[in-house]
Amino acid sequence: MNAKKILSVLLAVIMCLSMLAGCGSEPEETKAPASQDSASAAQGATEATELEGEITFWHSFSQGPRLETLQAAADSFMKANPGVKITIETFSWADFYTKWTTGLASGNVPDMSTALPNHVVEMIDAEAIIPLDDLIDDIGRDRFYEAPLTEMTADSQTWAVPLYSHAQVMWYRTDLLEKYSLEVPTTWDELYDAASVIQQGENGAVYGCSVPMGTNDMMATRYLNFYVRSAGETMITEDGKANLTSQAAIDGINYWIKMYKANSPADSLNFNVLDQATLYYQGKNAFDFNSGFQIGGVETNTPDLLDSIACAPMPTLTKGEKQTGYETSNIPMVVWKNSKHPEICKAFIEYLYQPENYVPFLLSVPVGMLPALKEISQNEEFLADPTVQKFSDSMAVIADAVGYGTAIGMEYGPRPEAGLVTSQGVIEGMFQDIIVNGTPVEEAAGAAEAKLNSLFETVG
């Protein structure tokens, strides 16, 4: 590994907060459908070659239902392939990130794993994983949505295979809009006005729109990105520079400061992703931005409100304009270069996409995880799920957003700068500097932009 790549990996160790961009905030439990015995399908998938060997699979799905469906698939695969042993180990996203970045030099990495989009960029740069074009072509490249594959492609090779997708959209309380005779906001100005009406009317019982800015997370970066993307710009320019001083960025900074001062709890200055999501789960935030994981969170925390939540497309600057600048997360699987049995990894990944395995996995968090395979959106079992049926309109909004969006900073393809903009707390520190210290917006934005560009030089 050359010096530049070693530096990149060392920098990666301090970037564990980027994992929060991938998953939003996930509820602790959602009811999982019963797993199915698909040993015959596993046998059919591997009958051409007798597989033999042991592999280790790391994933970050710590909730019971998701973990259980993956373990059931592994058990079935091993039953059909007696020469194979799959050991599954579960780590939080933060622990996974630390474990692979510190274990890379010693070879203490798995055979296959899940990842986040920013992880994949770093893994490619560290020459830690292998391309998976052969696997994708075997499964059927045209069965996958194009955007996730594009996001995982570098140097004309696809380095990861998408497992599921989700997107950030605007969630709101239907009961509060009805109570105050409000329409669903479609522009940022309408959102501010509606949030203000609810904030004043609820007299502190419900906040209009909480704005999270904690420096141990990337939520303020996410919120600023929403606004900047709606203006047709990006947080990282095509030539790899930070964008915090354009008119759109300055307008976005001013917008969220105004929203914070008028309609957000003072404590949200230090909120992380879980603090923010919990406020909505408990019915204390009228408007929020998150993925379909909101549904499970509300169901777990305040089930009586489940009939009063829905999502809508991200607001735009101009009335009637179509929003296309979404933040999406396409959660992939990768095969590690150190694996002695990549053929087993690939066979097992292909097996996971069998409907009898894949559909139960997706339905372990219904609407929270949208399928990476196009035909699953028409699968009868998938569509028959009660939560999918109940929130079919919201799922359609999220699915539409997935088709337009990318991870923050990856609008022009995979790049290591994207991990830095979301992991270093620079933008969060900028917001706190403006609010706490009274630093002028343009001055704080300029300093933050310069700091990011300096960081970018270490990986550019």
In CATH terms, are 3-167+328-404 and 171-325+425-456 the same topology?
A: yes
- The tens digit of pLDDT for each residue in 52-79 reads 999 999 999 876 789 999 999 999 999 9
CA angle 181, 183, 185 (to 5 degrees): 140
Closest CA to 335 of 351, 327, 326, 347: 347
pLDDT at residue 310 greater than cutoff 80: yes
> Which of 3.40.50.720, 3.40.50.150, 3.40.190.10, 1.10.238.10 is the CATH number of 171-325+425-456?
3.40.190.10
Give the per-residue pLDDT at 403.
79
Share of the chain above pLDDT 70, in %: 89
Tell me the β-bridge partners of 392: none
Q: Say if CB 185 and CB 394 are below 8 A apart.
A: no
- The tens digit of pLDDT for each residue in 187-227 reads 999 999 999 999 999 998 999 999 999 998 899 999 999 99
Closest CA to 296 of 24, 96, 22: 24
User: Can you tell me the distance from the alpha carbon of 190 to that of 201, in angstroms, rounded to the nearest whole number?
Assistant: 17
Closest CA to 167 of 421, 414, 405, 423: 405
Give the per-residue pLDDT at 460.
65
- pTM (predicted TM-score): 0.84
What is each CA distance from 412 to 22, 48, 124, 155, 199, in whole angstroms? 18, 40, 16, 13, 38
Terminal CA-CA length for the chain: 16
SS3 286: strand
Give the per-residue pLDDT at 94.
76
> Which of 3.40.190.10, 3.40.50.300, 3.40.50.261, 3.40.718.10 is the CATH number of 3-167+328-404?
3.40.190.10
DSSP 8-state secondary structure symbol assigned to residue 385 = -
Using the structure block, give the residue that is written with the tokens 């230090």.
270
Give the per-residue pLDDT at 262.
98
Q: Which of 149-158, 185-194, 235-244, 352-361 is least confident?
A: 149-158
pLDDT at residue 160 greater than cutoff 90: yes
Average pLDDT (77-106) is: 92
Using the structure block, give the residue that is written with the tokens 């990318």.
406
The domain locations on the chain are 3-167+328-404, 171-325+425-456
For the chain, the maximum distance between any two Cα atoms, rounded to a whole number of angstroms, is 68
Average pLDDT (83-98) is: 91
Give the per-residue pLDDT at 2.
44
User: Can you tell me the distance from the alpha carbon of 155 to that of 125, in angstroms, rounded to the nearest whole number?
Assistant: 11
Residues 6+ apart with CB under 8 A from 17: 94, 216, 217, 218, 422, 423, 425
Give the per-residue pLDDT at 8.
45
- The tens digit of pLDDT for each residue in 351-363 reads 999 999 999 999 9
Residues 6+ apart with CB under 8 A from 4: none
